Amino acid sequence: MADETRKPNVLLIQVDQMTAKVLPSYGHEVVKAPNITRLAEEGVVFENAYCNFPLCAPSRMSMLSGRFANSIGVWDNATEALSSTPTLMHYLRGMGYCTALCGKMHFVGPDQLHGYEQRLTTDIYPSNYAWAPDWEKGLGDRPTGINLSGITQAGTCLRSLQIDYDDEVEYFGVRKIFDLARYEERPFFLTISFTQPHSPFVTRPEYWDLYEHDDIDLPTVPAMAEEDMDEMSRWIYHAHAGDLDTPTEDQIKNARHAYYGMVSTLDEKVGNILQALKDCGLYENTAIIFTSDHGDMLGERGQWYKQLFYEWSARVPYIFHWPGTFKPGRIARNVSLVDLAPTVLDIVTGGDGPRPVKAFDGRSLWRFLTEGADPGRDDTVICEYTGEGACAPCRMVRRGDIKYIYTHGHPDLVYDLARDPDELVNVAEAPAYAAIRDELKAVCLNGWNPATLAATIKDSQKDRLFIRDATDCEPTWAYRIFDDDDRRYVRKAGAIQTKAYARLPRSKDDGAFK
């Protein structure tokens, strides 16, 4: 039972680019993740949980603010997040909570805390305008230099930039838990945020060896010809250099094998974090949340990484654990990461969270957690995309089993996930779906003007690109803990090149991922 003498602690464990579809608790039969599975079995699993923006920085800022990224002016991975945006941490600090961040959050701009009192590690990716996209370039703009070498050169390694980072996050996260138990009188909100299983897909041999290579499953939906893709998919295909490289079946299998090894790596770290809570006597009075910022296509439809609204990219694990208070079970209703902020505020107040300064776009999951249902709740979720690779604003709405996708200037897409879980049949023009299509399109466009948004975003891109190029990506705004943080992690260089040279042994061509 929870300790009734003090407010509950909250531990948010976040991973990067983990699709819900690879976890055993979401039905995968190959991946080994016993600690996350146990957390799910004892907790509440949201089966249809979505990110609200399938890209790192906007997804995270949306989650922590409880508002859609476009409503707070975060367009992409190089948009400055304003200090004037209230976050969950601001509310919690006003309620007497200690707030600490260990690991990745990909804040862009001079404010690298956004309500956290303390960061325990640096971040792993640029905090400035280095990755600003340019929609004027049209098809194939790749500000990060991303390509498919993270797939074609997937496999094992002894060390990599991501292994280094996550080892550091685990160490300081566990140490912080002991420090909280020893020195902190206040309840805490601690975020421990890892970078795996983000591409490139490389894992240590001991995690690769957890799997028989013959057991690794190939994508359910094979690669599509470019002429058969919808327009948004075509944009992202080019943004990932899919038109320049076609992974072989062996390379696809290697990539998924390494990805599964990365998931198992994280699972072990989750187990160590939970054990630290138990060792410190904090486990019983700590609500634990496990999630990811977005998913990964993992070769489905011939697509990789994120930035799409299809299930592998947009659906995320969402597990809440607090025995004695949360009612264990599985929830099929649609929810999203933007619900996290109001939910945490209800967790720490017993369902009586404060009125927000500005209305949340998310809605609390408290009744789901404590009663197992929330019958009057609308299960509509919204996901948007205005980041690198796109050429215009895009948005997705799911209600019930129907998913509607809007791509500005291009035909609508509608999928009936109950009948078509692989999203292969666009029923947007089918008479039986006309009413729900129009209904969801109205929801999509309510308070969201794509033409106005496109003009605003292009103006923002011009300003940021000018500053970036005039100053050689200065300032970096990097949150530095150790003197060599800017050398060990990605600050201004392209992510692909930096990650490649951090890998040991080096990959092909002396480590230069192409």
- The residues of the chain scoring below 70 in pLDDT are 1-5, 493, 507-514
Backbone angles phi, psi at 484, to 5 degrees: -100, 15
For residue 243, count other CB atoms closer than 10 A to its CB: 13
- The per-residue pLDDT for 47 is 98
The catalytic residues are 56, 106
What is the distance between the alpha carbons of residues 113 and 193, in angstroms, rounded to a whole number? 14
**CB-neighbour burial class of residue 50 (10 A; exposed 0-12, middle 13-18, buried 19+):** buried
Asked whether the beta carbons of 344 and 88 are under 8 A apart, the reply is yes
Q: Which has the closest alpha carbon to 386: 51, 58, 49?
A: 58
- Whole-angstrom Cα distance, residue 31 to residue 34? 9
The DSSP secondary structure of 275-326, one letter per residue, reads HHHHHTT-GGGEEEEEEES----TTGGG--SS-S-SHHHHB--EEEE-BTTB
Specify the pLDDT at position 512: 41
pLDDT value, residue 144: 80
Residue 509 has what pLDDT? 52
Q: What are phi and psi of 468, to 5 degrees?
A: -60, -50
Q: What is the DSSP letter of 159?
A: B
- 358-to-66, 86, 173, 335 alpha-carbon distances in Å: 10, 8, 32, 20
Please report, for the chain, how many H helices and E strands are present, in that order.
15, 14
- Model-level pTM greater than 0.85? yes
Instruction: Kindly state the helix (H) or strand (E) to which residue 273 belongs, with its residue range.
Output: helix 249-279
Question: Under CATH, which number does the domain 9-509 receive?
Answer: 3.40.720.10
Q: Tell me, what's the pLDDT at 465? A: 96
Token readout for 349 is 């107040």
